[in-house]
Structure 1
Amino acid sequence: MKKKEDVYGDHISHQFNEDLAGLKEDFLRMGGMVEQQVVDAIDALIDGDGHRADEIRGRDKQVDRLELEIDEEATRIIARRQPAARDLRLVISVIKMVSDLERIGDEAKKIAKFALSLSEEGKAPRGYVEVRHIGNHVGQMLRDALDAFARLDSELALRIMKEDKRVDEEYQAATRTLITFMMEDPRNISRCMSIMWVLRALERIGDHSCNLAEHVIFMAKGEDVRHTPMEEAEKVVGN
């Protein structure tokens, strides 16, 4: 694959370059924090580690605080630098993308909450294989979305968008399996329902990762591919 060129940060003003670079670095730092939250929450659930689950829930405040700081940073850049064209797309996209990162953090917090309750009640009899599988899938989507942002890689972003449909299919299959099991053995409904909520949170993480990818395409191509058919998005990336 050809190397992607970062078209940002080539201004005469050294300070403007630093402002944009700092914004990108802070976004990626927040992304790394959220990515680790997701990984740790899944591990806590599968390992039945209530202590780790409780610690993950506490980390959510750090993510919320960083979201506010990045929003303020982006607002200052708009006010002071009055960016245009590609730079404006970067700043606006970051403002929107931090919201998706914060929501991914919220979903990780939900998973941690169910991990904590299941560590106290006892593990559910089914669903952990599906959690691990879908968790790995959406975790890779999130990592790829952050990588696509860092390299301004619209082709990688497009692949992430295509993965979202597969995640939806995996989620639907997993919930059908759990519903069938609960119908056969109603004694486990409560704990299986917790796993179903975890699967729902993972599916939402996939949705938010897809949103991140759509913003990367907007940054790279100047075209908004949200709510457009995949064929149209492919044409945008191919141009």
Structure 2
Amino acid sequence: MDITSDIHSRHISRQFNQELEELKTHLMAMGGLVEKQIQEAVAALLEGDSDLARRVVENDRAVNDMQIKIDEECTQVLARRQPAASDLRLVLAVIRAASDLERIGDEASKIARNAADLIAADNGTRGFVEVRMISEHVRRMVRDALTSFARFDTELALKLVHEDEEVDEEYRSAMRSLMTFMMEDARSISPILSLMWILRALERIGDHANNLAEYVVYLVKGLDIRHTDPEDLDEQAITRKG
């Protein structure tokens, strides 16, 4: 059943409605914090701000705490309410989404730690153009994934599934450029390796944003598309299904 035809306001228990809404609200708050972590980790690198990089690493604990809180709330809903159909899918999707957001937070922390190393070494700005480009792309993906979750928007979610392929290609192109830099100048190996780790973390953030989008399709349509090739997805059929 399409979740849009199973409105939570029909529940007899108004408290149950509130609990489900709170799950979404807390997930969106966690997403907002994770978005900020990505933005500040990249800004720390591009602006040479080691203090900002340190704060990003320290704030990763807050992301972890939010995931634990959301997991506890979901467990309580499952135990007390024993939800079925679209309500069960919502709780499961929130659990999965919180896990991916926590991992995005981990990747932001990795970016910040490598940024701090690069700032300390003062090795110039080679590779920063690639970092800026890919970071803007994956930040937009994370924001759109959260929007699609909040709005139960499968069309936007499916667009993100295809966008992940674009990020993968941008990542491969950037890595080829950095490999060329290393071959031209052996002294650049250490900083280039740090940049490669940053780019890898950004690519992984794109993967997690893709996962969030897949959960939206599962939540709204009851379809698991996690192991489906994007080229095989019939977007019109999925958005009509319900």
**TM-score normalised by length of structure 2:** 0.94
2:140 aligned partner: 140
In the comparison of the two structures, how many residue pairs are matched?
236
CA gap 1:79/1:65 in 2 versus in 1, 3 angstroms: same
Per-residue CA deviation, residues 41-74 of structure 1 (Å, 9 max, x unaligned), is: 0000111100000011000000101100100000
Q: Which residue of structure 2 aligns with residue 117 of structure 1?
A: 117
Contact 1:125 1:188 (C-alpha < 8 Å) held by counterparts: no
Whole-Å Cα distance in 1 between the matches of residues 114 and 227 of structure 2? 32
Aligned to 2:233, what secondary structure does the other structure show? helix
Find the counterpart in structure 2 of residue 169 from structure 1: 169
Compare 7-16 and 95-104 and name the one that shifted more. Answer: 7-16
CA pair 238-6 structure 1, distance change in 2 beyond 3 A: closer
Report what 1:56 is aligned to.
Answer: 56
CA distance in 1 between partners of 2:40 and 2:4 (Å): 33
Task: Tell me how far apart the structure 2 counterparts of residues 68 and 233 of structure 1 sit (CA, whole Å).
Answer: 36
1:236 corresponds, among 230, 233, 238, to 238
What SS is found at the alignment partner of 2:59? helix
What is the letter of the counterpart of residue 8 of structure 2?
Answer: G
* 2:29 maps to amino acid: R
Q: Describe the superposition over 1:74-112 as per-residue Cα deviations: whole angstroms up to 9, x where unpaired.
A: 010011011100000000111111110000000000000
RMSD: 1.4
Q: CA deviation at 1:237?
A: 2.9
Asked if 1:93 corresponds to 2:93, the answer is yes
Runs of 4+ in 1 over 6 A off after TM superposition: none
Q: Please give the alpha-carbon distance, in whole angstroms, between the structure 2 residues aligned to 1:219 and 1:169.
A: 28
Conserved? CA contact 2:4–2:220, under 8 Å: no
Whole-angstrom CA distance in 1 between matches of 2:137 and 2:123 = 23
Secondary structure of 1:227's counterpart equals coil
> Which secondary structure state, in structure 2, belongs to the residue aligned with residue 166 of structure 1?
helix
Matched with 1:189 is: 189
State the 1:126 CA deviation.
1.3
Return closer, same or farther for 1:120/1:225 CA change in 2, 3 Å cut-off.
Answer: same
Structure 1: runs of 5+ lacking an equivalent: none
| Separation in structure 1 between the aligned mates of residue 88 and residue 234 of structure 2, nearest angstrom | 21
The amino acid that maps onto 2:92 is I
Q: CA deviation at 1:5?
A: 5.3
| 1:229 CA drift (Å) | 2.2
Task: Provide Cα deviations, 1:113-146, integer angstroms capped at 9, x if missing partner.
Answer: 0111111111444110000000000000000000
Per-residue CA deviations over 1:124-182 (Å, capped at 9, x if unaligned) read: 44110000000000000000000000000000000010000000000000000010011
Identity %: 52
Paired with 1:97 and 1:58, the residues of 2 have a C-alpha distance of 22
User: Using a 3 Å threshold, how does the CA distance of structure 1 residues 41 and 130 change in structure 2: closer, same or farther?
Assistant: same
- Alpha-carbon separation, structure 2, partners of 1:156 and 1:54: 34
Per mean C-alpha deviation after superposition, the further-off stretch among 112-121 and 123-132 is: 123-132
Please tell me whether residue 212 in structure 1 is matched to residue 220 in structure 2: no
